């Protein structure tokens, strides 16, 4: 089977702009979950967010654009992170426009970050706003393609909170099958009134910093950010700096409820099994797990049961980096894959924040305390979403 | 290899209107689907909570999932599923000034709600995903399907599209000047010679298999381009046929996405000129314009490949050839250019 390698990465999150800033924060245990400074909402003062620490004006100076006239916050975040990944992997303009190069990018918010303009555009007789072309699914992805010059396979997936993990799965298969040679894949999310009010209405948002896998967890924090990976076929990656290999991926549906996971964790268990099978690895080969771990009552119990059912001998160290970034929805799969790759590249175990007491029923302890160096060859990264969409990725040391 | 072994379609036309000249006439810029009696397919208790896209898609896809119990993937394309609910949630949000809101509309506003419901109602835990990249979303499901059918132990999958005309996207599209300003009958749409088009919706679903048994037609290949100038469009079209070992003269039927917008239809004239010996047809006067309309074009094409009647109202140029090889070309908003190559399957 053709091997698929990560040759470039880019990220902007509440931990900062760029891989270096994010790595430093993860190593030091510095959280990005704080009071929002830039997000405008009734909840801005009541709740904590994983907000990217830049205003839209500041973001617009981080990357100048000569092609895209109108950029909303989602576009800024996506373009900044994607640009870092392309520079990192030294991708040329002709490689970008090559029809064997693909772009897959997910966002559940799209232009809804401009909720008020969207309402006016869709509901009033007011003249159209400058953001009118930004609300459609995939619109940020079209702007990425225009800005950077992609010309071939372009895709945007939406499987809610597993969207960009499914993007990575699809990119892996596209390259393995030789349909494409190179895919830039990731996701982006910006804070919006629409999503904050939606999750709040579901009563799964905490007003404190989230506590994944803690007995006393009481919900998630919403976050924003973007992350992109450059995936290339092994034979195109000669003489390149290689971060990791995308070793396997599994996608399954929980087929239980539109917005809750099943008691027996059918979807999560199946997704992890399929990922292990496709990587040709055994559960005991996994050195570290970047869990979905949203800190909702429902997810963390279900995921704990799933982990116990897959890792019957011993459960390897696991954490949820949502305790640093909050839940970045469609971008979470890509951001967490990138964090997983950093842990492989640095041979470093990042530690979970805010954990004190294990869930009574399952008694699983995420790795907490001081981060430390560790031998990490294979990481499992989980992303589960509404609609029952469960996806697991396996990222491995290369060679 | 990818064979189509079953298919189902809900559109603004009745089945007989697709393959005869007895088509339903539309004089507005909204071509709504002819909806089935949903309670025949969906329990009333959950029907109440479903948005229109989910209802259309479940009514269309669930019977296929029940008939083929060994389906191992559900792959959906949509650019609009959930927008009616998204709009309702937005109304709540503004009306109550971010106060206490009910979450049902929010959950139903997600585009993947259809694929999720199909999995739930058929108790299918297999591969499940939703492509939303507007004018290439359906072609992307075909590519994804092709990849799935290469996986071990997967030899039957469901792919398809769903679109709903929600008040929300319709009004946005009016402000984006997408529609015709004058009323026009769908019988005159393609030759209207004016700017703008009309909106459409519907759902086409296909059961695909890597085995030829029971096949209606074969999907040879699919290719999508982004922002292709004419020179690239021609080069890529010819390359697409060439890598699939098909000669230009072998294309019997060219299915083109003419939507009556004089600013866009030159793309189709250009492609038609590359195939002087093919029969050429259009289809958007039946179902309107929407980003995944090629799913309907594929439904129409496999009917014609399996011997159904080619209605006169579709024909732009009749080469009087029997239909063995079909090329579908569609572009969406000058950005997305897509080719789907189909052929007769011999079981």
B100 interfacial to chain A (CB closer than 8 Å)? yes
Residue A292 appears among annotated catalytic residues: yes
Q: Is the pLDDT of residue A223 over 80?
A: yes
User: Do A257 and A229 share a structural domain?
Assistant: no
Q: Is the pLDDT of residue A349 over 90?
A: yes
Q: Is the pLDDT of residue A68 over 90?
A: no
Predicted complex ipTM exceeds 0.90: yes
User: Do A292 and A215 share a structural domain?
Assistant: no
Chains A, B: CB pairs < 8 Å = 196
Domains of chain B by start residue, with CATH: 2-209 (3.40.47.10), 220-343 (3.40.47.10)
Final residue belonging to a domain, choices A236, A258, A291: A236
pTM above 0.90, yes or no: yes
User: Do A266 and A231 share a structural domain?
Assistant: no
* Residue B347: predicted pLDDT: 60
> A266-289 pLDDT, tens per residue?
999 999 999 999 999 999 999 999
User: Do A386 and A259 share a structural domain?
Assistant: yes
Minimum-distance CB partner of B130 among A41, A146, A158 = A158
Percent of chain A with pLDDT over 90: 94
Chain B partners within 8 Å of A193 (Cβ): 93, 98
Could A259 and B100 be called an inter-chain contact, meaning their C-beta atoms sit closer than 8 Å?
A: no
B117 interfacial to chain A (CB closer than 8 Å)? yes
User: Do A137 and A180 share a structural domain?
Assistant: yes
* Residue B48: predicted pLDDT: 87
Q: Binning pLDDT at 50, 70 and 90, where does residue A61 land?
A: very high
User: Do A35 and A162 share a structural domain?
Assistant: yes
Residues of chain B with pLDDT under 70: 347
- Surface-to-core class of residue A238, CB atoms within 10 Å of its CB (0-12 exposed, 13-18 middle, 19+ buried): exposed
Cis ω on the peptide bond leading into residue A205 (within 30° of 0)?
Answer: no
Classify residue A206: in a domain, yes or no.
Answer: yes
Classify residue A131: in a domain, yes or no.
Answer: yes
Could A132 and B140 be called an inter-chain contact, meaning their C-beta atoms sit closer than 8 Å?
A: no
Nearest one of B243, B58, B238, B308 to A179, comparing CA atoms = B243
Q: Which of B42, B98, B100, B128 is the mutation pick for testing A, counting most A CBs within 10 A?
A: B128
Strands A288-290 and A378-384: parallel
Q: How far apart are CA B31 and CA B286, in angstroms?
A: 8
Classify residue A243: in a domain, yes or no.
Answer: no
User: Do A316 and A223 share a structural domain?
Assistant: no
A156-171 average pLDDT score: 98
Nearest-Å Rg of the Cα atoms of chain A is 19
The total of structural domains in chain A comes to 2
User: Do A220 and A124 share a structural domain?
Assistant: yes
Host domain of residue A279: 248-396
DSSP one-letter code for B25: P
Chain B partners within 8 Å of A146 (Cβ): 227
Chain A partners within 8 Å of B168 (Cβ): 122-123
User: Do A257 and A216 share a structural domain?
Assistant: no
Would you say A86 and A10 are in contact if contact means Cβ atoms under 8 Å apart?
Answer: yes
Final residue belonging to a domain, choices A210, A236, A262: A236
Per-residue DSSP letters for B173-202?
HHHTT-B-SS---GGGSTT--BS-B-EE-E
Final residue belonging to a domain, choices A189, A206, A236: A236
Residue A161 appears among annotated catalytic residues: yes
User: Do A198 and A152 share a structural domain?
Assistant: yes
Percent of chain B with pLDDT over 90: 92
* Residue B151: predicted pLDDT: 87
User: Do A333 and A227 share a structural domain?
Assistant: no
Percent of chain A with pLDDT over 70: 100
> A379-392 pLDDT, tens per residue?
999 999 999 999 99
Closest chain B CA to residue A99? B225
User: Do A271 and A225 share a structural domain?
Assistant: no
Minimum-distance CB partner of A267 among B117, B125, B335 = B125
Q: Binning pLDDT at 50, 70 and 90, where does residue A325 land?
A: very high
CATH number at residue A322: 3.40.47.10
């Amino acid at each position: 089977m053709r091997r698929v390698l990560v040759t470039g990465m880019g990220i902007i999150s509440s931990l900062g702009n760029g891989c270096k800033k994010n790595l430093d924060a993860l190593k030091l245990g510095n959280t990005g979950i704080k009071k929002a400074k830039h997000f405008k909402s009734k909840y801005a003062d009541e709740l904590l967010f994983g907000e990217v620490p830049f205003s839209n004006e500041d973001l617009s100076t981080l990357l100048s654009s000569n092609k895209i006239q109108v950029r909303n916050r989602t576009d800024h975040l996506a373009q900044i992170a994607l640009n870092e990944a392309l520079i990192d992997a030294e991708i040329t303009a002709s490689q970008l426009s090559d029809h064997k190069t693909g772009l897959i990018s997910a966002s559940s918010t799209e232009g809804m970050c401009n909720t008020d303009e969207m309402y006016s555009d869709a509901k009033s007789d007011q003249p159209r706003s400058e953001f009118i072309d930004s609300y459609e699914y995939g619109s940020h992805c079209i702007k990425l393609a225009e800005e950077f010059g992609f010309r071939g396979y372009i895709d945007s997936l939406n499987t809610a909170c597993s969207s960009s993990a499914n993007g990575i799965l699809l990119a892996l298969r596209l390259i393995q099958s030789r349909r494409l040679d190179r895919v830039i894949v990731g996701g982006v999310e910006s804070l919006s009134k629409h999503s904050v009010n939606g999750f709040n209405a579901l009563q799964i948002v905490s007003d404190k910093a989230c506590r994944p896998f803690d007995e006393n967890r009481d919900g998630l924090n919403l976050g924003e950010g973007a992350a992109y990976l450059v995936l290339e076929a092994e034979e195109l990656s000669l003489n390149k700096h290689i971060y990791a290999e995308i070793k396997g991926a599994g996608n399954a549906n929980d087929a239980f409820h539109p917005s809750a996971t099943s008691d027996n964790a059918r979807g999560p268990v199946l997704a992890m099994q399929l990922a292990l099978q496709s990587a040709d690895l055994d559960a005991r080969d996994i050195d570290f797990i970047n869990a979905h771990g949203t800190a909702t009552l429902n997810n963390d119990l279900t995921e704990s049961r799933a982990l116990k059912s897959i890792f019957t001998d011993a459960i390897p160290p696991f954490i949820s980096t949502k305790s640093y970034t909050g839940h970045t929805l469609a971008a979470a799969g890509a951001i967490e894959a990138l964090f997983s790759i950093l842990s492989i590249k640095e041979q470093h175990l990042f530690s979970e924040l805010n954990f004190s007491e294990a869930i009574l029923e399952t008694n699983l302890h995420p790795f907490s305390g001081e981060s430390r160096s560790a031998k990490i060859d294979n990481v499992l990264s989980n992303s589960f979403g509404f609609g029952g969409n469960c996806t697991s990725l396996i990222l491995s040391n290369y060679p | 290899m990818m064979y189509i072994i079953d298919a189902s379609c809900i559109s603004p036309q009745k089945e007989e209107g697709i393959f005869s000249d007895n088509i339903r006439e539309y004089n507005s810029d909204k071509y709504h689907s002819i909806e089935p009696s949903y309670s025949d397919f969906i329990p009333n208790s959950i029907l109440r909570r479903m948005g229109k896209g989910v209802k259309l898609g479940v009514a269309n896809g669930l019977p296929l999932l029940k008939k083929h119990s060994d389906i191992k993937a559900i792959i959906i394309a949509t650019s609009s599923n959930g927008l009616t609910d998204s709009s309702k949630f937005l109304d709540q949000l503004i009306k109550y000034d971010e106060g206490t809101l009910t979450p049902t509309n929010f959950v139903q506003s997600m585009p993947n709600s259809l694929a999720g419901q199909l999995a739930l109602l058929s108790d299918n835990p297999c591969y499940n995903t939703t492509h939303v990249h507007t004018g290439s979303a359906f072609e992307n499901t075909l590519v994804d399907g092709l990849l799935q059918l290469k996986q071990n132990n997967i030899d039957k999958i469901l792919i398809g599209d769903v679109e709903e005309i929600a008040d929300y996207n319709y009004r946005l599209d009016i402000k984006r000047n997408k529609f015709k300003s004058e009323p026009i009958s769908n019988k005159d749409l393609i030759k209207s010679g004016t700017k703008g088009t009309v909106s459409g919706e519907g759902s086409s679903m296909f059961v695909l298999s890597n085995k030829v048994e029971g096949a209606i037609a074969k999907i040879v290949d699919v290719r999508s381009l982004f922002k292709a100038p004419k020179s690239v469009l021609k080069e890529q079209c010819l390359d697409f046929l060439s890598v699939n070992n098909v000669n230009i003269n072998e294309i019997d039927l060219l299915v083109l996405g003419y939507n009556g917008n004089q600013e866009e239809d030159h793309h189709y004239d250009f492609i038609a000129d590359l195939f002087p010996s093919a029969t050429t047809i259009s289809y958007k006067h039946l179902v309107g314009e929407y980003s995944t309309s090629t799913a309907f074009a594929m439904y129409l094409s496999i009917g014609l490949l399996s011997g159904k009647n080619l209605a006169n109202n579709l024909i732009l140029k009749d080469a009087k050839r029997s239909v063995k090889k079909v090329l579908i070309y569609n572009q969406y908003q000058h950005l997305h250019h897509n080719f789907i190559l189909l052929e007769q399957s011999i079981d």
